[in-house]
Structure 1
Amino acid sequence: MYLLTGVLQLSLLFSFVVDVTSSQCRCLYGQPCWPSQSEFSSLQNQLSQPLIHPVPPASPCYPLSHPSGNCTDAQTNQFDGNWRSNQSGSMQSPNFETFIFDNGSISACYMNTTLGVPCGQGSVPNVGIDARSVEDIQAAVKFSVKNNLRLAVKNTGHDYLGRSTARGSFMIWTHHLKNITYNSTFVPEGAPPTELYKAITLGAGVQWHEAYDAAQAQGRALVGGMSVGGSVGAAGGWVLGGGHSALAPSYGLGVDNVIELKIVTSTGEYLTANSHSHSDLFWALRGGGGGTYGIVTEVTYRTHPSMPLTALYFVANSTNNDTFRTLFTEFVRIHPNLSDSGFSGYAFVSSNGIQIFYIGLNVTQAQANKTIDPFFSFAQNLTSEGLNIATALTVPYPSFYSWYTSTSSIGQQVGSSDELASRLVSRDVIERNHRGIADAVLSLNSSGWLLVAGGAVAQVDPDSTGLNPAWRKALVHVLWGTGWQEGTPFSEIEQLRAVVARSLTRVSELAGSSAYFNEASMFEPNPMNTFFGSHYSKLKAIKNVYDPADLFVVTEGVGSEDWDASLNCRR
C-alpha cells in the first residue's frame, strides 16, 4: 500500500496566508481577530487544567526550535497508537498533522530529521484545553462561539479523514475523560423504573483496551472496535459514525447498542439524549457522525453475556495469479453462508495473498469445522496449482475478550501517512456477482475485507437510528487506500490520490456508492448520499436545532456542504 517517495522540494511558510474579510469566516490563529492574552487568561480562570499548546509529536527531535521533549521516545513510539493518543498534537496518521498550501508547499514536522526540513506546526492547533470535566468543555465551547473560532475536537486522533485537527484552530482535547462505570440496573434518564439494562458508561476519553478490560471484570462482553493495542476511542467518533465490530453481526453495530449519550451543544447546554429525552438528537447521534452536533462527554452501552467462540485462521498466497483469483472468488462466494453460520471478522487481501481472522460467536469448533472444511478442501485442491497454505485451522476461545487480547497486538496500524477509500458491499451484490466483486477487490492490490455486517445488523429497522440505511443491507465493508513516506512532494501525493479515486469509481460501479463514515475517502463526489443516504435531510434539520452557531463542522460531515473546501468560510 505504501509507495516510495520522490525528491523533497518544499518551500515552508511560517505565517498564515489570510483571505478573511467578514464574519462569514472563522477566526484563525495569527489573525487580528484571534483572542488576546487577557481573553485567554479569562478562559483559563474557568478551567480545571492549564491551557495546552499542542505541538507535532516529532518536535522534540528539533531542539533548536523545540528545546523540550525526548526525541528517542518519539522515534521509538511513533507507531504506537496509545503513545500517539497521549500526545495532544498527534494524529494516528501523521499526514493529518501536516498542512498543504495552495501552491503545493507543505508545513510539517517530520520524524525523519535527515530531510533537512524545519519543524512546522502544520495542521496542529496552536492552543487548546485539556478537558477534565463537563464545565471545562462548556467554558471552551462558549469561548469558541463568542470568538468565532475554528474548533477542533480531538480524543485519540484515530481519524482517517483528519476531522479532529485543523490548522489555526482551537482544540478541545477530551482524551482524559476516563470515567468508567458499570451498572447492572441502569435506568435511562426519563425512562420508567422497569426499563433496566446491564450497562457500562464510558467517558469520551476511554479507549477500547480500557473498555474491554472493564467489561471483562464484570464478566460481560461489549460491542467495540478492533485496533492494534486497542487505542481507538470507545465513546467518540467510532460510535457516532456507526461503530463496526467483529461482534456486530451477533449484537448489532455500536449505534445499535447505545442506551444513552450526554453532550455539550454549541449553546453550552449539557443534554442527555436517549429514547425518552431529546430523542431526535439521540436518533441523529447514532450514525450522524462525530464532530457534528456537539461534544459527547459519555456514552452508555448495553453489555452482553460473555460467550465462547471459535476463531478461524487462514493464511495463503500464490505466485500464480489465476490460482489465487480462483481461491479468492470462492472465498467471496461463500460469504452469505459464512454469515448465516455465525462468522464475522477481518480479512486482509493483496493481489496474491490473504490473511483471515474470523470468529464464530457461540459456535463450537465442531460447528465451525463443518462450515469451513469445504473451503479448506477447496484451497487444498489448489496447492497442485501453486497455492501455498501457511495456516488453515480453527481454535476455540472461552470468550471474545480472550480472542481479542490474543490478536490485538498483531501488526502496525498507525504512524504512517495514508488515505483511505471504502465501500459497503451488500449481500445481494455478492450473491449476484461474486466474481465481479472478487476481481474488483483484487485489482486494489491491498485491501481490508471486513465481515462486520449482516446478521443482527440487518435485523434492525433502517430508520430507527440516523445511520445510513445501506448498512442494513450490507454484508462486507471493503477498504483500501494509499500511503507515502515523509517528505513526499504534493505533486506525487496528488498522483497517488488520483489512483485511489479511479479505483473508487470502479468498485462503485459494482458495489454502489455507500460507505462507512469513519473509514472512507475525503474526496467523495457526493458525500451526503454516500455516508447518510436517505437520512441526510433529517440529520441536517436536527443539526440546525442543536448547533445554531454552526460551530461543529468536519470534513464531509452533515452541514459541511455549506462551507468552502477549507471549512473556514461559508459558501
Structure 2
Amino acid sequence: MEDINVLESVNPTLTQMLSKALNLIFHIFSWGSLVVVPGLSESLSSPCRCLYADSSCWPSDADFAALASQLSRPLIYPVPPESACYPLSDPVGNCTDVMLNTSNGTWRSDQAGAMQAINFETFIFQNGSISACYLNTTLGVPCEQGSIPPVGVDATTSDDIQAAVIFAEKWNLKVVVKNTGHDFLGRSSGRGSFMIWTHNMKNISYNATFVVQGGPSNETFNALTIGAGVQWYEAYAVADSYGRSVVGGISPGGSVGAAGGWVLGGGHSALSPQYGLGVDNALQFTLVTSSGSYLTANAYSHSDLFWALRGGGGGTFGVVTSVTYNTHPPTPVIAIVLSVESFDTPATAQSIVSEFLRFHPTMADLGWGGYAFFSAETSFLFVGVAPNISWAAANTTLAPLFEFFANSTSEEAVGYTMSYDSFYTLYEQVLGTPGTASSVGENVEIVSRLISRELLETDYEKVAETLLGLGTSLTYHLVAGGAVSKVDPDSVGLNPAWRNALGHVALGSSWLEGTNATAVRQIEDTLKGYLGVLEELVGPDGGAYFNEASLYEQNFQETFFGAHYARLEAIKDQYDPAGLFVVVEGVGSERWDEDLNCRIQF
C-alpha cells in the first residue's frame, strides 16, 4: 500500500483518482434525496381522488384556463422525455438530446416529465401490463404516459403554489409536487395526477445578520435562504461566493434539490459528523399549507410545525417554498481514498470490512464523513472527508487503518490523502460541474437501515459478516455520529434513532427497460429478503433514512419516525385536517389505499 501522501498542494492526478472513486460509488448508488413529494387533496364529498380521464370529475378546459390566468407561467403538460424518440407521441422532440443526456441528473431535473429513477415514470397494472415510454425503441412497445402527471403548474412564486393548492382542493385532484425527481419511493410522480413543479423557484439570498421571523434582534446568523427549486450546485456556489460553507447533499453535478425533501427527511451529508444533519442547520421554512395559507415556521413562529418539518418527511405538512440554513466558515478539508482492488479470500473480506467498521467510531468522533462501497465478491472502496483537521492529525488517525489494510491482503491496496482549501474546492474539482453524468436514468429500488454506534462497538464483526453475507454490492454512508449525536433527539421531528447511529447502509437492484412485471416482482422479492436481513441485524427500532429507503417497510411508522410518530401525526392533523397531503410511507399514509387514491380510514 502507498503511504499517506502529505502534499503541499492538491495533486491533479490524485484529484482525478478521487473523482473516479466517488463517481464509482455514485454509479452504484445515487446519493440523491427526496426533494419534493406528492400530495393528495381530499373533497368532503368523495373519499377518492379525481384522476385524469375521469370526465365525471376532471376540470374542464375552461376551468384550467381560469387557473392559468392566475399564474406567472403557462400551465405545463409533462410527457416522458423518451417520447422524443417516438414521432407519433412527440413530433417535435429531439431524440438525440434525450439519448445524450439520459444519465445527466441536471438535464433530467430540467424536464417536468423526467424522474431520476425511470421505473417511477412507468405504471404496472394489477394484471401485469405496463404503461411506459422506453428509450429503447427497438422493444416495439408504444410510448405511453405511465405515472407521469398529464398537466401541472410551473411555479415560480408562492402565489402560484397557493393557486395550485386551492385549485386541487376544489376539484379533489391527486397532487404531485416535484422539483428534480430525485426520489427512491416514487413520490415525485403519480398516474393521472396534477403536478406542482417547483423546480424554477431559484431565489437565493445571503444575510450575515439574519434574524428569524419573530426572533430576538440580538440572535443573528450567517444564513443562506434558498427557494424550493434551488439545487445543491447552485447553493454551494453562492455560499462560497460569500466566503461561507453550507451542509448539503452530495451527488455528481449537484443536481439534488436543496430546499425540499432532502432536509424534510433529515438531510445527511459527508459534512454531517462535523456540522450536523440538514435539520440541525435549518433555521426557518416558508410553506403553503393545505388551506392555501402561506406560513413561516421557525423556533418562534409555528414552532410545532418547525419541529415537524425537521425530519417528519416531505409532502406531509405543506409545500415548502424556501429554507433558510445556518452557514459555516470555510475550512481546509482533508480527503482520503482507501481501496482494495479485490478480496483474495472471503476471510480477507471479513477481516478488512470488520476492521473498517471497528474504526468507524474513531473517525466519526473526529468529524470524518464519507462513503464506502464493498461486496464479498469484488472489492472495497472508501472515500472520506474531514473539515478543519490538520495533516498531522489525519496521518495519526488514519495510519493504523492504512497499515492494517496493507498487511491483510496480497491484492493491490491503495491509500492516499489530499488537501483542499475548502469543501467547495473539493466539490468542484471532484464531483464536477452541472451536467456530470451519474447513475440516474435507470430502473432502481433500494433497501436501507441505520447502523448504531452500540452495534459497531459491541459486534462489528457480526455487522461485517451480515453485510458481506448478503452477497451483493452495497454502500455504507459515514454520515452520523460526531456533531449529529450531540443534538437533543427530541429537539426536532427526526427519528431519534439518528442520534445513536453512525452509519447508514443501503443496497439496491436495477433492471433493464422492457423487463416484464413478473421479473420485476421477483427483483422486489429479493429486495424484501435483503430488508429482512438488515432488520434482523439492527432490530425493529433500528431506523432508516426516509429519503433513501424501501417501498416494503412493514412498520414504516417506527422505521422512519420512531417515538416521534404520534406527535408528528397530531401536528399533521392540525395543519392538514382534511388530508390534502399524503405520500408513500409518510405520516398519515396508512389511512389511504395502496395507490394513495382513496381514503380508507377517517
TM-score (norm 2): 0.90
Q: Quick check: 2:274–2:386 contact (8 Å CA) kept in 1?
A: no
Deviations 1:270-295 (A, max 9, x none): 00000010001000000010111110
Q: Does 1:463 align with 2:487?
A: no
Contact 1:155 1:233 in 2 (8 A): yes
Question: Residue 109 of structure 1 aligns to a residue in which SS?
Answer: coil
Q: Does 1:567 align with 2:599?
A: no
Aligned counterpart for 1:215 among listed residues 226, 236, 239? 239
1:11 equivalent in structure 2: none
The aligned amino acid for 2:469 is: S
Q: Which residue of 1 aligns with 2:431?
A: 408
Residues 145 and 549, structure 1, Cα contact 8 Å, conserved in 2: no
Q: Secondary structure at the match of 1:424?
A: strand
Show the counterpart of 2:359: 334
Q: 2:395 aligns with which of 364, 369, 376?
A: 369
Deviation, 1:549, is 2.6
Q: In the alignment, is the contact (CA less than 8 A) between 1:312 and 1:395 conserved in 2? A: yes
| Offset of residue 57 of structure 1 | 1.1
Summarize the alignment of residues 70-81 of structure 1 with structure 2, pairs less than 5 Å apart: 70-81=94-105
Which one of the candidate residues 115, 119, 142 is aligned to 2:166?
Answer: 142
Distance in 1 (CA, whole Å) between partners of 2:77 and 2:498 is: 39
* Counterpart for residue 559 of structure 2: 530
Of the three residues 568, 584, 592, the one matched with 1:539 is 568
Q: Counterparts in 2 of 1:212-361, with a 5 A limit?
A: 212-316=236-340, 317-351=342-376, 352-361=378-387
* 411 and 474 in structure 1: CA distance in 2 versus 1, 3 angstrom threshold: farther
Which of these residues, 433, 440, 444, is aligned with residue 418 of structure 1?
444
Deviations 1:476-497 (A, max 9, x none): 0111111101011111111111
1:15 corresponds in structure 2 to none
AA aligned opposite 1:323: T
- Given that 2:335 and 2:419 are in contact with CA atoms closer than 8 Å, whether structure 1 keeps it comes out as yes
1:65 CA displacement: 2.1
1:342 Cα offset (Å): 2.4
Q: For each residue in 1:276-315, what CA deviation from the matched residue of structure 2 results, as whole angstroms up to 9, or x when unmatched?
A: 1000100000001011111000000000010112111112
Q: Which residue in the other structure is 1:487 paired with?
A: 514
Equivalent residue letter for 1:299: V
- Per the alignment, residue 472 of structure 1 pairs with 499
Paired letter, 1:398: D
CA distance in 1, matches of 2:299, 2:397: 39
1:103 aligns with 2:130: no
CA contact (8 A) 1:227 1:413 kept: no
Asked whether the 8 Å contact 2:273–2:365 carries over to 1, the reply is no
**Count of paired positions:** 552
Residues 163-222 of structure 1: per-residue CA shift (max 9 Å, x gap): 111000000000000000000010110011111000000000000000000011011010
In 2: Cα distance, 1:365 partner to 1:100 partner:
53
Aligned to 1:413, the other structure's residue is in SS state: coil
Contact 2:449–2:505 (Cα < 8 Å) also in 1: yes
| Structure-1 separation of matches of 2:83 and 2:477 | 36
Which runs of 5 or more structure 2 residues have no equivalent in the other structure?
Answer: 1-24, 29-42
For residues 453 and 211 of structure 1, what CA distance do their matches in structure 2 show?
22
Q: Distance in 2 between matches of 1:115 and 1:69?
A: 19
1:446 corresponding residue in structure 2:
473
C-alpha distance in structure 1 between counterparts of 2:438 and 2:67, whole Å? 39
The AA in structure 1 aligned to 2:576 is D
Per-residue CA deviations over 1:37-95 (Å, capped at 9, x if unaligned) read 11111111111111000001101000022212100000110000000000000000000
Any conservation in 2 of the 1:310–1:368 contact (CA below 8 Å)?
yes
1:62 and 1:36 mapped to 2: Cα distance? Answer: 28
Inter-partner Cα distance in structure 2 for 1:407 and 1:293:
36
In the alignment, does 2:446 pair up with 1:397?
no
Question: Once the two structures are aligned, what percentage of the paired residues are identical?
Answer: 56
For 1:367, the aligned partner's letter is A
1:407 CA drift (Å)? 2.4
Q: CA deviation at 1:408?
A: 1.4
Superposition deviation, residue 328 in structure 1: 1.1
Q: How far apart, in 2, do the equivalents of 1:527 and 1:79 lie?
A: 31
Q: 2:54 matched to 1:25?
A: no
Deviation at 1:500, TM superposition (A): 1.1
Q: Does 1:379 align with 2:405?
A: yes
Q: 2:580 maps to what in 1?
A: 551
Q: Hey, what's the Cα distance between the residues in 2 that align with 1:401 and 1:349?
A: 27
Higher RCO, Cα 8 Å, sep 6+: 2
Of 371-380 and 208-217, deviating more is 371-380
Q: CA deviation at 1:319?
A: 3.8
Contact 1:255–1:287 (CA under 8 A) maintained in structure 2? yes
1:185 corresponds to 2:214 = no
Q: Helix, strand or coil for the counterpart of 1:199?
A: strand
> 2:271·2:386 contact (CA, 8 Å) conserved in 1?
no
Quote the Cα distance in structure 2 between the aligned partners of 1:484 and 1:361.
38
Separation in 2, partners of 1:303, 1:190: 20
Q: Distance in 2 between matches of 1:406 and 1:480?
A: 27
CA distance in 2, matches of 1:470, 1:362: 27
Q: Deviations over 1:440-497 (max 9, x none)?
A: 2223311110010001100000000000000000000111111101011111111111
Asked whether the 8 Å contact 1:236–1:290 carries over to 2, the reply is yes
Q: Does 1:39 align with 2:63?
A: yes
Superposition misfits of 4+ residues, deviation over 4 angstroms: none
Taking structure 1 as the reference length, the TM-score comes to 0.95
Distance in 2 between the 1:237 and 1:98 partners? 22
Structure 1 gap segments, 5+ residues each = 4-19
SS at match of 1:481: strand
In structure 2, the residue corresponding to 1:220 is in which secondary structure?
coil
Deviation at 1:22, TM superposition (A): 7.0
Taking the aligned partners of 2:335 and 2:572, their CA distance within structure 1 comes to 42
Residue 21 of structure 1: CA displacement?
A: 13
CA distance in 2 between partners of 1:361 and 1:527 (Å): 34
Q: Which deviates more, 77-86 or 310-319? A: 310-319
- Aligned to 2:85, which of 40, 61, 70? 61
Decide which of 530, 535, 550 is 1:503's aligned counterpart.
Answer: 530
Contact 1:267 1:549 in 2 (8 A): no
* Partners of 1:411 and 1:387 in 2: CA distance: 30
Aligned-partner Cα distance in 1 for 2:313–2:511: 27
The equivalent residue for 1:10 is none
Separation in 2, partners of 1:290, 1:559? 12
Report the residue type matching 2:519 in the other structure.
Answer: E
Does structure 2 conserve the Cα–Cα contact (< 8 Å) formed by 1:424 and 1:471? yes
Contact 1:311 1:358 in 2 (8 A): yes
Q: CA deviation at 1:510?
A: 1.4
